[in-house]
Amino acid sequence: MSTLVVSLGQRSYPIHIDAGTLARASELLRGLIGERVVIVSHASIAAHYLQRLRSSLAAAGVRIDVVVLPEGEPHKDWSTLNDLLTRLLELRVDRATTLVALGGGVIGDITGFAAAIYQRGIPFVQVPTTLLAQVDSSVGGKTGINHPLGKNMIGAFYQPRAVLIDTDCLATLPRRELAAGFAEVVKYGAIRSASFFAWLEANAGRLHARDAAALEYAIGESCRIKAEIVAADERESGERALLNFGHTFGHAIEVSQGYGTWLHGEAVGAGMVLAARLSNRLRSLPLEVTHRLAALLRAFEVPVDPPALPLDVWIDYMRRDKKTIAARLRFILLEALGKALVADDVTEAHLAAILAC
């Protein structure tokens, strides 16, 4: 088993990565949870994995309640959050209770946000079951919900007590969702590690075939890079913004097309290619890097061509992005493969040029 630590002083926590961590949950969470947990999940995820997790915790004498939420990005909203908070009140959950998010990014984000605001903060644990959640949303403490006008615009930074990544969960993950998760894996190589990017190019076939050793390495490297960045900049005042490579374009795609039409990783994939084109224009990034990025995403079956939107629609949605400061658009660009930076010198003319390609 691989174990990493997100180093945040008294709020540091482990990330355990292995096949079978669900069955070992009580052992891995010993001392991190109390005598009662509420597991929050979707029906489809619960059907596959709830019993495994529940049996492990129950064997250790933990009292367990379960809340099942509706599935999908369109339900990551106020209504679902309110329903979850209502259930916590009905169950008389107190501050000694730990919430356990069993599912993908939607479950992790909304459960974490509920934990952050219920009784002004109760413990929670991330048990991500999708590749995207395992390598990205479960690590770093970003929690929240969507608004019709913007993705993840309502939320809080709130760190989990632990992250349990069971690679066995990927066996039942639909092919499209697996592909979407690989987009975030590719992102880590693009912004931080040219050698990891090259490894992904060489091992794309093994990863797509769900080779266990390859998946564990890719997940571990992605989590290692994210944990390192989060430890240096927990609340995104500087370096952590680099993790948003492709996301300004990607969020605009998700919101404009309707939540759930494009999966998050799909939108980020197309967004990264647009950001690379912008980097060609503004930071002299070699075209070869853009071609390699697009080719690797295609190898993982991630779409690289954005939907056709009028420039004013792109601009409108991107101006609502969380990275926009004082009405200045900010983008994550690449100086070189493995080296990213924050840029605030992007004009509408620059965007018009690359969106017309």
Taking only the tens place, the pLDDT of each residue in 102-143 is 999 999 999 999 999 999 999 999 999 999 999 999 999 999
Q: Report d(CA 323, CA 314) in Å as an integer.
A: 15
Work out the number of other CB atoms within 10 angstroms of the CB of residue 284. Answer: 9
**What value does the mean pLDDT of the chain take?**
96
pLDDT digits (tens, 9 = 90+) for 280-326: 999 999 999 999 999 999 999 999 999 999 999 999 988 887 666 65
The answer to whether residue 271 scores a pLDDT higher than 70 is yes
| Per-residue confidence (pLDDT) for residue 357, from 0 to 100 | 72
Residues forming the active site: 120, 142, 184, 226, 236, 240, 244, 247, 251, 264
Residue bearing tokens 């459960």: 111
Among candidate residues 226, 246, 213, the one with its CA nearest the CA of residue 354: 246
Work out the number of other CB atoms within 10 angstroms of the CB of residue 78. Answer: 11
Buried/exposed code over 117-128 (b: 16+ C-beta within 10 A; e: otherwise): ebeeebbbbbbb
Q: Report d(CA 95, CA 46) in Å as an integer.
A: 25
What element of type H or E holds 39? strand 36-42
pLDDT digits (tens, 9 = 90+) for 142-183: 999 999 988 899 999 999 999 999 999 999 999 999 999 999
Token pair listed for 128: 């991500």
Report if pTM > 0.85. Answer: yes
Token pair listed for 184: 């975030």
Map 238-275 to HEC letters: CHHHHHHCCHHHHHHHHHHHCECCECHHHHHHHHHHHH
| Per-residue confidence (pLDDT) for residue 325, from 0 to 100 | 65
Q: Report d(CA 234, CA 240) in Å as an integer.
A: 7
Residue partners of 107: CB distance under 8 A and separation at least 6: 40, 41, 42, 45, 69, 101
Which domains, ranges and CATH numbers included, belong to the chain? 2-172 (3.40.50.1970), 175-355 (1.20.1090.10)
| Per-residue confidence (pLDDT) for residue 126, from 0 to 100 | 98
Are residues 103 and 133 in contact, defined by beta-carbon separation less than 8 angstroms?
yes
334 forms beta bridges with: 340
Q: Report d(CA 76, CA 9) in Å as an integer.
A: 31
